Amino acid sequence: MVGGERNGLVRANVHDELRLRFLTGRITPGTPLSTRRLATELGVSQMPVRDALGRLAADGAVDIRSKRRIVVPPMTHDRYADLLACRELLEPAAAREALRGLDHAAIESLEKVDEDIGVALENGDVEAYMSANHAFHFTIYRAQPHPTLVQLIETLWLQFGPYMRIVYDRFDGEHLADQHARAIQAIRRRRPADLSRAILSDIRDGMGLIKATGLAKAPLA
């Protein structure tokens, strides 16, 4: 592998890893992001980390205020409302479009992931819960034929994922209705409207917990 190809692969891998950390809430708000620390963790130079953070900033996941001050943007009232509205618009539509691509093997996979979610909640394993929840949703969304739609949804998850980590640190599974079971049932019965409604309810349940924590307060007049 020549130098340019190797460097390109490093940049891609670093971006994919940091993107996954945002999607699954492994990076949380309130903690400044250090390119040096991240580079050490990933075993790379700071250059591909800076490149990846620049791309994540373009997606709205981070706010680069200076070379030494990189943070997760605050969850303002307006930002919360914007993310919720976009999720409500895109994700139920993606689920509905995905139904034709979800075969028996996909259903079995979703059932296994949902079991993993239950185990994670019982054990208080927030990181495992976040990873499994992401896997559940994107197993559905990636079954539909529009890759751009998946990219748009991922951009939304990059922005609220860090805040969901805080939510699940504070709330236990009793606060979460089992919309995933309803989604699986809708897939089994080949009912796109029911699947869309289950995903919509799941979005509102999760985002509602962000609001319940007080993380998305309206600005003072």
Q: How many domains does the chain have?
A: 2
**For residue 131, what is the domain's CATH number?**
1.20.120.530
Q: In terms of Cα–Cα distance, which of 17, 14, 25, 19 is closest to 131? A: 25
- Of 71, 102, 117, the residue that ends a domain is 71
pLDDT tens digits, 106-135: 999 999 999 999 999 889 888 899 999 999
Q: Does one domain contain both 84 and 163?
A: yes
Averaged pLDDT, 148-170:
90
CA dist list (Å): 93 to 87, 122, 195? 10, 31, 10
Least confident of 13-22, 24-33, 178-187: 24-33
Q: Does one domain contain both 144 and 208?
A: yes
Q: Does one domain contain both 94 and 198?
A: yes
Q: Does one domain contain both 173 and 67?
A: no
Q: Does one domain contain both 83 and 167?
A: yes
- Of 34, 51, 71, the residue that ends a domain is 71
Q: Determine, yes or no, domain membership for 136.
A: yes
Q: Determine, yes or no, domain membership for 219.
A: no
Tell me which amino acid residue 64 is. Answer: I
Q: Does one domain contain both 64 and 41?
A: yes
pLDDT tens digits, 36-90: 999 999 999 999 999 999 999 999 999 998 877 899 999 999 999 999 999 999 9
How far is the C-alpha of 183 from the C-alpha of 139, rounded, in Å?
12
- Of 71, 91, 116, the residue that ends a domain is 71
**For residue 61, what is the domain's CATH number?**
1.10.10.10
Say what the pLDDT of residue 201 is: 97
- Give the residue with greater pLDDT, 23 vs 66: 23
Say what the pLDDT of residue 2 is: 40
CA dist list (Å): 133 to 7, 181, 192, 220? 32, 13, 20, 34
CB of 167 closer than 8 Å to CB of 159? no
The alpha-carbon radius of gyration of the chain (Å, integer) is: 18
- Give the residue with greater pLDDT, 121 vs 181: 181
Supply the range of the domain harboring residue 198: 77-212
What pTM does this model have?
Answer: 0.88
Q: Does one domain contain both 105 and 188?
A: yes
Say what the pLDDT of residue 1 is: 41
Residue 5 above 60 pLDDT?
no
Tokens of 112: 């296994």
Q: Determine, yes or no, domain membership for 221.
A: no
Q: Determine, yes or no, domain membership for 220.
A: no
